[in-house]
Structure 1
Amino acid sequence: MIQKNLMECCLLWHSNMKVVSKRYSQMQRLLDTIFSFLARKTDFFTGGGKGAGEKLVMEKFKKYEKVALDMEAQKAEEREASEKRRREKAEAQRKKEQELQKQQQAEEAASITELTEEEAKKLQDEIDQEKNKRTNQIPMEISNENVDASGDKASEAEEEEDPKEKGKLKPNSGNGCDLPNYRWTQTLSEVELRVPLNTPNPLRPRDLVVSITKKHLVCGIRGQPPIIDGDLHSEIKIEESTWVLEDGRTLFLSLEKVNKMEWWSRLVLTDPEISTRKINPEPSKLSDLDGETRGLVEKMMYDQRQREMGLPTSDEQKKQDVIKKFMEQHPEMDFSKCKFN
């Protein structure tokens, strides 16, 4: 067994050395060709004085050695950052699963032994507090599909009276804004941007300047003032954001939002604001969300409809089910003095 392992190691080392030797041989031939040409066709070795050629070669060698080392260091940093993000994501997922498991265990282990008048009042207060809390947390951007025409008019009247909404633009059909130099649209998870380049001839990607960072965007035609240069409304995921040149005449960018529960009121901070109250997301767009976000949005929309109909929300219904189950398990107890919603 030891001999076999030694043989495998030797063969692997020999194979790697053959590759290194081949590359070294190719590099030697390339350098021979270059310096042979300089010796035969130019005065590179004699025209600048003794040692001038060697000095020039070493200067260029040091220059591009630094470039190569910097590129390698940058790649190493990017690999390390990518691995760090992967580990952080895995750790966050693990903690989330642990918290969910603890919560489920706590709910299963929880038991009610007695419901006095004082405890009933305390429970009622907790239900009311939770109800108010959930009401305040519902984002104003979630639209109600069942609102009638009179409700829409009342909402518009409230917006006109609200000083914060004065001067804000109405969103376009994509819940974004049409501006003189570009048009942007959005969903809860991403922003899409189209920039017409308005040039007589089609351009190539190398003719453009595009810089996307976590909170800043720059794009335009090389050698000309940027079409967009400003801080974004909110942070984006750089690794999930891309750009492409369409037909040589339109620049298309897709920006992935970090906060997937927020509507942007503008693309960059220098743009005019749109009214996020007037955003009306299509129901089909819910399918574009990940499972967790979609579940949260659907729950919030369900709770909003329940409140409008005077019915309990999902959290309130869960608490009522717990109380009902307890009452069924303890028929000997008198609940006539208890008040529940």
Structure 2
Amino acid sequence: MADKDVTELTPAEEAAARAKEQAEQEALPYKWTQTIGDVDITILVPGNLKGKDMVVEIKKQSLTAGIKGQEPVIKGDLPHPILLDDSTWTLSPAPDGQKALEIHLEKHNKLEWWPHVVISAPKIDVSKIVPENSKLSDLEGETRAMVEKMMYDQRQKEMGLPTSDEQKKMDILKKFQEQHPEMDFSNAKIQ
């Protein structure tokens, strides 16, 4: 029997998959979050430690982090490359007298979700990520124009109307028809 497609899961199977994923993520010795552009990792360490007591090696495609002289808390290859110059780490106070080793990784490709921080860690289902709402005004010019076009085309499709590309083709055909009334376009198909 072939594996079921994710869209074919029953509500009970979906709930079980979510619970398993959550349990796997909670069992990790670190917490992590991501946006479409970056990944943030937090490792809680004893409050008496200082930056010099940490081992943090951030490389384009790998990460090692932990306390000097101990097994790393996180070590492995990243699923995708990062921007080294924009990736950092800090050690700051945390609740309960602990400190938080906070690692910020700036994604190289800002259009993909990561299924895990290092490829040896359990994956999350990136298709279930619901990004926080962002405003179109937050986007830069070319990206904003592309997103606005996609939104317009989606609304047009939902209403059964032509997309911007289809409308452009129809306008070109109409103009051509007006310039060449002698031609028969009754069987013309727009591809």
TM tier, smaller: 0.7 to 0.9
Cα distance, 1:340–1:182 mapped onto 2, change above 3 Å: same
* RMSD over equivalenced CA pairs, Å: 3.1
The aligned counterpart of 1:204 is 50
Q: Quick check: which one's helix share is greater? A: 1
User: Is this contact kept in 2: 1:187–1:285, CA < 8 A?
Assistant: no
Helix, strand or coil for the counterpart of 2:64? strand
The aligned counterpart of 2:130 is 280
Question: 1:312 Cα deviation (Å)?
Answer: 2.4
Q: Which amino acid aligns with 1:185?
A: T
2:2 equivalent to 1:183: no
Which structure is higher in RCO with an 8 Å CA cutoff and minimum separation 6? 2
User: Is this contact kept in 1: 2:169–2:190, CA < 8 A?
Assistant: no
Question: 1:247 Cα deviation (Å)?
Answer: 1.7
Question: 1:253 Cα deviation (Å)?
Answer: 1.7
Choose the corresponding residue for 1:243, options 89, 96, 120: 89
Q: Quick check: which one's strand share is greater? A: 2
TM-score (normalizing by structure 2): 0.75
Q: Any residues of structure 2 matched to 1:23-172 within 5 Å, and which?
A: 158-160=7-9, 169=18
Choose the corresponding residue for 1:311, options 153, 161, 164: 161
TM-score (normalizing by structure 1): 0.45
2:79 equivalent to 1:229: no
Q: Which amino acid aligns with 1:318?
A: K
Whole-angstrom distance in 1 between the partners of 2:149 and 2:141:
12
Count of residue correspondences? 177
1:115-172 deviation per Cα after TM superposition (whole angstroms, max 9, x unaligned): xxxxxxxxxxxxxxxxxxxxxxxxxxxxxxxxxxxxxxxxx982517xxx99864788
User: Is this contact kept in 2: 1:244–1:253, CA < 8 A?
Assistant: yes
2:180 equivalent to 1:333: no
Cα distance, 1:168–1:267 mapped onto 2, change above 3 Å: farther
Larger Rg: 1
**Gaps spanning 5+ residues in structure 1: where?**
1-155
